[in-house]
Chain A
Amino acid sequence: MQSDDVIWEIVGKSHCSFRVKVPEKNQQFCRNAYNLTGICNKRDCPLANSRYATVREREGVIYLYTKTIERAHLPSKMWERVPLPNNYMKALEMIDSELLYWPDYMIHRCKQRITKITQYLIKMRRMKLSNAPKVVPIKKKLDRREARREAKALRAAHIEKAIEKELIERLKTKAYGDQPLNVNEDIWKQILDAEKGKEKLDAELEDEDELDEEHELEEEEEWDGREFVSDDSESEFGGLSDLEDMEPAQDDEEGKSNDDGSEEEGDTDSPRRKRPPKTSLGKRKAVDDAKRPRKRVARVEVEYEEEQELVDPEKESIPSW
Chain B
Amino acid sequence: MERRKLEKKNPELKKKRQAENVPMTIDNTRAYDPSMVTVPSGLHPKSTILAEFSARSKSTVPIKESSTVGSSEPSGSKVTQDPNPAPPPAVPAEFMDPEHAADIANDPFAAYFDPDSERDPSEPPKVLITTSPYATAPTWAFCDELVGVFPGAQFFKRKKKSFRSNAPPLGTIAGWAVKRGYSSLIVVNEDHHKPNALTMIHLPAGPTAYFKLTSVELTREIYGHARASPHYPELVLNNFVTRLGHAVGRMFQTLFPPMPEFEGRQVVTLHNQRDFLFFRRHRYMFKSTERTALQEIGPRFTLKLRSLKTGLPSNNPLGAPMKPLEMAKEDEEPEQQYPHIVEEVAKSEDNGEAGNSGGEDEEAEEESARVEKEETKRDEKKGARKGEEFAWAWNPRMDFKKRNFYL
Interface residues of A (CB under 8 A from B): 61, 83, 85-87, 90, 128-131, 133-134, 139, 142, 145-147, 149-150, 152-154, 156-157, 159-160, 162-164, 166-168, 170-173, 175-176, 180-184, 187, 190-191, 194
**Contact indicator B273/A157 (Cβ below 8 Å):** yes
**Contact indicator B317/A131 (Cβ below 8 Å):** yes
**Contact indicator B288/A187 (Cβ below 8 Å):** yes
Please indicate the chain B residues that have their CB under 8 angstroms from the CB of A90 in the complex: 328
**Contact indicator B263/A163 (Cβ below 8 Å):** no
B358 at interface by CB-CB < 8 Å: no
Q: Specify the chain A residue showing the minimal Cβ separation from B28.
A: A156
Beyond A149-B276, A168-B292, 12 extra complex contacts between A and B, CB < 8 Å: A83-B334, A85-B337, A129-B317, A129-B318, A130-B166, A133-B132, A147-B214, A150-B304, A156-B274, A163-B238, A167-B292, A184-B285
**Contact indicator B276/A164 (Cβ below 8 Å):** no
B68 at interface by CB-CB < 8 Å: yes
Contacts A86-B328, A159-B269, A164-B292 given: A131-B286 contact, CB under 8 Å? no
**Contact indicator B265/A164 (Cβ below 8 Å):** no
**Contact indicator B274/A149 (Cβ below 8 Å):** yes
Please indicate the chain B residues that have their CB under 8 angstroms from the CB of A128 in the complex: 317
Please indicate the chain B residues that have their CB under 8 angstroms from the CB of A190 in the complex: 288-289
**Contact indicator A180/B262 (Cβ below 8 Å):** yes
22 example contacts (A-B, Cβ-Cβ < 8 A) are as follows A90-B328, A131-B171, A146-B304, A146-B399, A152-B274, A156-B27, A159-B269, A160-B282, A162-B67, A162-B238, A162-B269, A163-B238, A163-B267, A166-B68, A166-B238, A168-B292, A173-B76, A175-B71, A175-B73, A175-B76, A182-B262, A187-B289
**Contact indicator B294/A163 (Cβ below 8 Å):** yes
- Which 9 A-B pairs rank lowest in CB-CB distance, beginning with the nearest? A131-B169, A157-B273, A153-B274, A181-B263, A153-B273, A182-B262, A175-B76, A164-B292, A153-B276
Shortest CB-to-CB span from A120 to chain B, Å, is 19
**Contact indicator A170/B26 (Cβ below 8 Å):** no
Q: How far is the CA of A187 from the CA of B302 in the complex (A)?
A: 34
Q: Quick one: which of B71, B236, B273, B290 contacts A154, CB cutoff 8 A?
A: B273
Q: Quick one: which of B71, B133, B169, B280 contacts A159, CB cutoff 8 A?
A: B280
Contacts A145-B399, A150-B215 given: A162-B286 contact, CB under 8 Å? no
**Contact indicator A194/B263 (Cβ below 8 Å):** no
Shortest CB-to-CB span from B232 to chain A, Å, is 12
Shortest CB-to-CB span from B396 to chain A, Å, is 6
B54-72: which residues lie under 8 A (CB-CB) from chain A? Answer: 67-68, 71
Contact with A along B260-291 (1 / 0, CB 8 A): 00110101010101111010101011111111
Q: Quick one: which of B76, B133, B271, B399 contacts A170, CB cutoff 8 A?
A: B76
**Contact indicator B396/A139 (Cβ below 8 Å):** yes
Please indicate the chain A residues that have their CB under 8 angstroms from the CB of B162 in the complex: none
Q: How far is the CA of A170 from the CA of B237 in the complex (A)?
A: 13
Shortest CB-to-CB span from A175 to chain B, Å, is 4
Please indicate the chain A residues that have their CB under 8 angstroms from the CB of B286 in the complex: 167-168, 171, 182-184, 187
Q: How far is the CA of A181 from the CA of B27 in the complex (A)?
A: 36
Categorize the interface residue count of chain B.
35 or more
User: Which of A90, A150, A187 lies at the interface centre, i.e. has the most chain B CB atoms within 10 A of its CB?
Assistant: A150
**Contact indicator A156/B399 (Cβ below 8 Å):** no
Q: How far is the CA of A145 from the CA of B396 in the complex (A)?
A: 11
**Contact indicator A156/B273 (Cβ below 8 Å):** yes
Q: Specify the chain A residue showing the minimal Cβ separation from B341.
A: A83
Q: Quick one: which of B133, B289, B302 contacts A168, CB cutoff 8 A?
A: B289
Please indicate the chain B residues that have their CB under 8 angstroms from the CB of A180 in the complex: 262
B383 at interface by CB-CB < 8 Å: yes
Please indicate the chain A residues that have their CB under 8 angstroms from the CB of B351 in the complex: none
Shortest CB-to-CB span from B130 to chain A, Å, is 14
Contacts A86-B337, A150-B276, A156-B273 given: A163-B262 contact, CB under 8 Å? no
**Contact indicator A166/B236 (Cβ below 8 Å):** yes
Shortest CB-to-CB span from B313 to chain A, Å, is 9
Contacts A86-B337, A150-B276, A156-B27 given: A167-B262 contact, CB under 8 Å? no
Contact with A along B377-407 (1 / 0, CB 8 A): 0000001010000000000100100000000
Shortest CB-to-CB span from A123 to chain B, Å, is 15
Q: How far is the CA of A283 from the CA of B332 in the complex (A)?
A: 109
Shortest CB-to-CB span from B58 to chain A, Å, is 31
Please indicate the chain A residues that have their CB under 8 angstroms from the CB of B284 in the complex: 163-164, 167, 182
Q: How far is the CA of A173 from the CA of B280 in the complex (A)?
A: 23
Q: How far is the CA of A143 from the CA of B166 in the complex (A)?
A: 33
Please indicate the chain A residues that have their CB under 8 angstroms from the CB of B214 in the complex: 146-147, 150
Q: Specify the chain A residue showing the minimal Cβ separation from B322.
A: A129
Shortest CB-to-CB span from B203 to chain A, Å, is 19
Q: Specify the chain A residue showing the minimal Cβ separation from B214.
A: A150
Please indicate the chain A residues that have their CB under 8 angstroms from the CB of B399 in the complex: 142, 145-146
Shortest CB-to-CB span from B164 to chain A, Å, is 16
B163 at interface by CB-CB < 8 Å: no
**Contact indicator B276/A85 (Cβ below 8 Å):** no
Q: Specify the chain A residue showing the minimal Cβ separation from B269.
A: A163
B223 at interface by CB-CB < 8 Å: no
Please indicate the chain B residues that have their CB under 8 angstroms from the CB of A167 in the complex: 236, 267, 284, 286, 292
Q: How far is the CA of A147 from the CA of B170 in the complex (A)?
A: 29
**Contact indicator B262/A85 (Cβ below 8 Å):** no
B18 at interface by CB-CB < 8 Å: no
Please indicate the chain A residues that have their CB under 8 angstroms from the CB of B71 in the complex: 170, 175
Q: How far is the CA of A154 from the CA of B285 in the complex (A)?
A: 24
B323-367: which residues lie under 8 A (CB-CB) from chain A? Answer: 328, 334, 337-338, 341
Please indicate the chain A residues that have their CB under 8 angstroms from the CB of B26 in the complex: 156
Contacts A134-B383, A153-B273 given: A160-B294 contact, CB under 8 Å? yes
Please indicate the chain A residues that have their CB under 8 angstroms from the CB of B68 in the complex: 166
Please indicate the chain A residues that have their CB under 8 angstroms from the CB of B236 in the complex: 162-163, 166-167
Please indicate the chain A residues that have their CB under 8 angstroms from the CB of B302 in the complex: 150, 154
Shortest CB-to-CB span from A114 to chain B, Å, is 15
B25 at interface by CB-CB < 8 Å: yes
Shortest CB-to-CB span from A147 to chain B, Å, is 7
Shortest CB-to-CB span from A197 to chain B, Å, is 12
Q: How far is the CA of A170 from the CA of B269 in the complex (A)?
A: 14
Q: Specify the chain B residue showing the minimal Cβ separation from A139.
A: B396
Contact with A along B73-97 (1 / 0, CB 8 A): 1011000000000000000000000
User: Which of B71, B212, B271, B383 lies at the interface centre, i.e. has the most chain A CB atoms within 10 A of its CB?
Assistant: B271
Shortest CB-to-CB span from A57 to chain B, Å, is 14
Contacts A86-B328, A149-B276, A175-B76 given: A168-B290 contact, CB under 8 Å? yes
